[in-house]
Amino acid sequence: MNQELDVAVTQSSQESRPVERNAIDAHITTLGHIFFVIGLVGVGVLSLGSGDFAYSWQPVPDWVIWRVGLARLSGLVLFVTGITLLTRRAARHSAIIMGAYLALLMVALHLPRVLFRPMDVGRWLGLCENLTLVCGGWILALAVSRHEADSAAKLWSKPRVPELLYAGACVVFGVSHFVYAEATAGMVPSWLPYRLGFAYLTGAGHLTAGLALLLGIVPALAATLEASMITSFVLLLHMPGVFSEPHSRLQWTMLSVASALAGAAWLIAGSIRRPIRRAQDSAV
């Protein structure tokens, strides 16, 4: 009798583990969704209020005609699509619009700068930060439309593509920490010892995560640790920056962009830990 009870308990425990893991993975995706929306809505609000673009993240030249109006229009797109990403009915279309708009900004504003000076790591960093946001929007669009049968076998419907692009971006992040070690160390909170060491350590973390994702070595763990590290930047660096300078648009912009980057990282981690399948696949 006791042996049968032990077997039943063991089987019940084994069956509950996948359920618990699925719940954790779902929470990770939800966390990414929230961070992503908060960050991009924040950028939108700042553009609407200031009539300007988001500094180096949206490097629109000063000579552009109707620049103030375009900045407010950009802010409105980010704000509206960000808010509607939280609604069940409009989430799918909002995610697609958001991802497409972020891709447009990346191609129009950052890609030409990289092509003009391909050896400038700083320009690659700007491109890859925006690429991370594009990948986050891409994954979010797939996640909210995973039950749609018409998402068929198109290239954009394969989560592996944004996951690999994100992995490449992580490698660039890591390289930038080594190339700009002094500047990176200057951003480390002053209360931490050996700030230059933290710059190298976080750079190594980005590099390791990116290479692990590219090579398929413990990808779920690598993506989760990468997302955790980026979130720590939000909590330890950018939130204190806003508290110390609450009227600084730069500090609020950095907090918003960092939050969106953390959200994208969690969305990628959730996608890897809990693969997105099409409706046809899940019905089999």
Give me the pLDDT at residue 12, please: 42
Task: Please answer whether residues 200 and 178 qualify as being in contact, where contact means their C-beta atoms are separated by less than 8 angstroms.
Answer: yes
CA distance 188 to 151: 43
**Residue-by-residue pLDDT tens, the chain, 284 positions:** 444 434 443 444 444 455 566 677 778 888 999 999 999 999 999 999 999 999 999 999 999 999 999 999 999 999 999 999 998 888 888 999 999 999 999 999 999 999 999 999 999 999 999 999 999 999 998 888 764 544 444 556 788 899 999 999 999 999 999 999 999 998 888 888 899 999 999 999 999 999 999 999 999 999 999 999 999 999 999 999 999 999 999 999 999 999 999 999 999 999 998 775 543 343 32
Handedness of CA 111, 198, 137, 38 (dihedral sign): negative
Cα–Cα nearest to 37, from 268, 271, 259: 259
Helical ranges in the chain per DSSP H: 2-50, 67-84, 91-105, 111-116, 121-144, 160-179, 181-187, 195-215, 219-233, 239-244, 249-273, 279-282
In the prediction, which pLDDT does 11 show? Answer: 44
Domain boundaries, the chain: 24-282
Kindly report the pTM of this predicted structure: 0.87
